[in-house]
């Protein structure tokens, strides 16, 4: 199996006394869709940003992040070709980061900025081929009908799907999504997770951080759980029973990790990586 992401002994301190990440090691194979769960402050965003090369690790000699077989950063130093390497990694933020006053199409086209010469991007010179690609990406997430609308006119869920289209235009091999459904209603959350699952079915590697463990179980075969910057679980999502979560996080914290009430938690991830339907009231 080919390795997409390899994180070795990564620690990150923002302040000297408290580690946001503590000796984290993690391997994600190409084609996997992996959930990263954990309470607020457990280090999910920090880890995703480290993997994307947006943040440097501590300078420990052993710390290393490899992406698609190339070292992206080691011992707290970014590789010289980090910009090219970053182009292979799409990043989806919790807060969409769309430019409100620009159209959906232009926002989507922004995804190609990593690939085209800077001056073309600055001048807003996108070729027909770029636009075609952007429209295709919008179609993939069911948002093509909004292409000419201002981003500010879309709902949160719609904006997040445009953010996914923008990441697609970048043509990445890996998508890192940082709590892409945190601020969405269940219906929008489902559409966003479906869009990510579709990409994964076509071979894209997806690492997605989630607050709610039920989405991890429904959409990802494997879950990595963080607690206070430490990996406390890395294995099949199906084994993350309420009892197991209680053990990992304590009953009070664990009970806050569900989006749906307990009688609606029956759906589990299937073994062939297909997405299970959400319950009718989800």
Ligand X SMILES: Nc1ncnc2c1ncn2[C@@H]1O[C@H](COP(=O)(O)OP(=O)(O)OP(=O)(O)O)[C@@H](O)[C@H]1O
The CB-of-48 to Mg ion minimum distance in angstroms stands at 8
Q: Establish if 93 lies at the interface with ligand X (CB under 6 A).
A: no
The CB-of-40 to Mg ion minimum distance in angstroms stands at 7
Rounded Cα–Cα distance for residues 176 and 193 (Å): 13
Tell me the residue number closest to Mg ion, measured at CB.
45
Q: Establish if 212 lies at the interface with Mg ion (CB under 5 A).
A: no
Q: Are 279 and 267 in contact (CB under 8 A)?
A: yes
Nearer to ligand X (CB atom), residue 41 or residue 236: 41
Q: Are 269 and 276 in contact (CB under 8 A)?
A: yes
Residues 6+ apart with CB under 8 A from 178: 44, 45, 48, 49, 91, 92, 93, 94, 209
Residues 6+ apart with CB under 8 A from 273: 33, 200, 201, 221
Q: Establish if 161 lies at the interface with ligand X (CB under 6 A).
A: no
Rounded Cα–Cα distance for residues 212 and 72 (Å): 30
The Cα angle at residue 119 between residues 84 and 107, in degrees rounded to 5? 75
40 binds, options ligand X, Mg ion, none, Cβ within 5 to 8 A by partner type = ligand X
Binding letters toward Mg ion, positions 82-101, x by CB under 5 A: --------------------
Number of residues lying near ligand X (CB under 6 A): 11
By CB under 6 A, what part of segment 25-44 binds ligand X?
A: 38, 40-44
Q: Establish if 46 lies at the interface with Mg ion (CB under 5 A).
A: no
Q: Establish if 158 lies at the interface with ligand X (CB under 6 A).
A: no
Rounded Cα–Cα distance for residues 235 and 62 (Å): 24
The CB-of-257 to ligand X minimum distance in angstroms stands at 11
By CB under 6 A, what part of segment 198-227 binds ligand X?
A: 211
The CB-of-179 to Mg ion minimum distance in angstroms stands at 6
The Cα angle at residue 207 between residues 166 and 139, in degrees rounded to 5? 30
Nearer to Mg ion (CB atom), residue 176 or residue 197: 176
Which phi and psi (to 5°) does residue 88 adopt?
-85, -5
Binding site for Mg ion (CB under 5 A): 44-45
Binding site for ligand X (CB under 6 A): 14, 20, 38, 40-46, 211
């Amino acid at each position: 199996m080919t390795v997409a992401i390899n994180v070795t002994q990564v620690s990150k301190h923002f302040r000297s006394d408290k580690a946001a990440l503590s000796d984290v090691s993690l391997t994600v194979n190409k084609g996997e869709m992996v959930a990263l769960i954990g309470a607020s402050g457990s280090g999910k965003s920090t880890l995703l940003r480290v993997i994307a090369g947006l943040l440097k690790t501590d300078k420990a000699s052993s710390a290393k992040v490899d992406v698609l077989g190339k070292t992206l950063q080691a011992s707290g130093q970014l590789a010289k070709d980090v910009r090219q390497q970053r182009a292979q990694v799409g990043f989806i933020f919790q807060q969409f980061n769309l430019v409100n006053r620009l159209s959906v199409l232009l926002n989507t086209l922004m995804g190609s900025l990593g690939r085209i010469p800077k001056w073309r991007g600055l001048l807003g010179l996108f070729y027909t081929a770029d636009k075609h690609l952007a429209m295709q990406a919008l179609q993939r997430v069911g948002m093509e009908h909004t292409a000419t609308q201002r981003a500010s006119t879309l709902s949160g869920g719609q904006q997040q799907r445009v953010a996914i289209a923008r990441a697609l235009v970048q043509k990445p091999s890996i998508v890192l999504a940082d709590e892409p459904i945190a601020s969405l209603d269940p219906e929008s959350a489902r559409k966003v997770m479906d869009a990510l699952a579709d990409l994964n079915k076509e071979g894209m590697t997806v690492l997605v951080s989630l607050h709610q463990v039920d989405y991890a179980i429904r959409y990802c075969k494997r879950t990595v759980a963080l607690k206070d910057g430490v990996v406390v679980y890395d294995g099949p999502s199906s084994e993350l029973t309420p009892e197991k979560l209680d053990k990992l996080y304590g009953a009070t914290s664990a009970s806050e990790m569900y989006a749906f009430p307990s009688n609606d938690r029956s759906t589990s991830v299937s073994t062939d990586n297909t997405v299970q339907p959400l319950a009718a009231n989800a």
